[in-house]
Structure 1
Amino acid sequence: MLGELYATLLPNGWVTYAAGGALIGLGTVFIYSLTGISAGASTFLESTLSYVSDRPQFAQYRASRDWRVVFSLGIVLGAAAWAFTFGDGPWLTDVQPWRLALGGVLVGVGTRLGKGCTSGHGVCGVGSGSKTSIVNVATFLAVAIGVAQLVAAMGVSP
């Protein structure tokens, strides 16, 4: 029974997840030590929008946006390199596009309301002891667990 639970929770074994977590942690330490900026993905995406918008919330990133775009591209290219080298090629999903779009909009609005995303709050904020980030992460987890249980109970599939 415990072996089945382990296989369900960690289908690729614990080493892959531990290595991934260590690399994420090292990446955030690297960015912070070089720039003094927390490596939150939503802020990096927002800085990219400063290329196409003159709105004040985007304009604040103009001075440091180039390296943030390179970092964001590195996230995508790193995932692609892993998928093609060790995986089954690009990741695909059976989830309908409208569900992905709706989920993206909800995450985007939540990111703005919560003043950051899971990487910013979860990795950088909690790691630095931010009370706001701890509350945000607890909220992310509680809502995610609740929604997952509700969806499973409703029998919804991709």
Structure 2
Amino acid sequence: MDLAHSLFPLGWQHYLLGGVLIGTGVALLFVLTGLVGGMSTVFSSTWSFVLQRPFFQQARFTDSRNWRLVFALGLVLGALVWWLLVAQGAAQTTDVPAWRLLLGGALVGYGARLGNGCTSGHGICGLGSLQWPSLLAVLTFMATAFLTANLAARWLV
């Protein structure tokens, strides 16, 4: 078995296509509107519709929540199209226990808040606009991910 097949047993083409589509989408968003499409801000601004806590009612969330909600709905619709066309409506499953998924999601959410943005905001938008803080954030994200994956593979298997 060659290295490419062991790293990408289902092929690499859909990863390339996904990356091109995401990059094109955020580039068009920025070029056409001057807006940055990071997902942690989309998440927070969407919650500003229903949560009245001061954090979610900041102007940076409430003033941009309408377009961010449309952005998030586009991502959901894109996933639905992929599921219908590529996965052909097949159920998507994983052998990862629910507690690990929940713990991972909580840690990622905490990290996005701590890092003042998520991997899409820093990795795609921030690096694309040559922001040095985004480079530091991405390097931190990746180092933490490598360390966590290796520790999890060793101790949680």
Q: TM-score, normalised by structure 1?
A: 0.88
- 1:138 corresponds to: 139
Aligned mates of 2:66, 2:6 — CA distance in 1 = 40
Q: Which runs of 5+ in 2 are unaligned?
A: none
Q: Which residue of 1 aligns with 2:38?
A: 40
Distance 2:155 2:31 in 1: 46
State the Cα distance separating 1:94 from its structure 2 match.
Answer: 2.5
Normalising by structure 2, report the TM-score: 0.88
In structure 2, distance between residues paired with 1:84 and 1:90: 11
| 1:79-158 to 2 correspondences below 5 Å | 79-87=79-87, 89-154=90-155, 156=157
Structure with more helix by fraction: 1
Identity, in percent, stands at 49
Provide closer, same or farther for how the CA distance between residues 91 and 76 of structure 1 changes in structure 2, counting only shifts above 3 A: farther
Structure 1: which 4+ aligned runs deviate by more than 4 Å?
Answer: none
In structure 2, give the amino acid aligned to 1:82: W
Unaligned runs of 5+ in 1: none
How many angstroms does 1:155 deviate by?
5.4
Deviates more, 1:90-99 or 1:73-82: 90-99
Partner of 1:50: 48
Q: CA RMSD in A?
A: 1.7
Q: Deviations over 1:24-77 (max 9, x none)?
A: 001101211233121101100110011112233322222321221121121122
Q: Distance in 2 between matches of 1:98 and 1:17?
A: 27
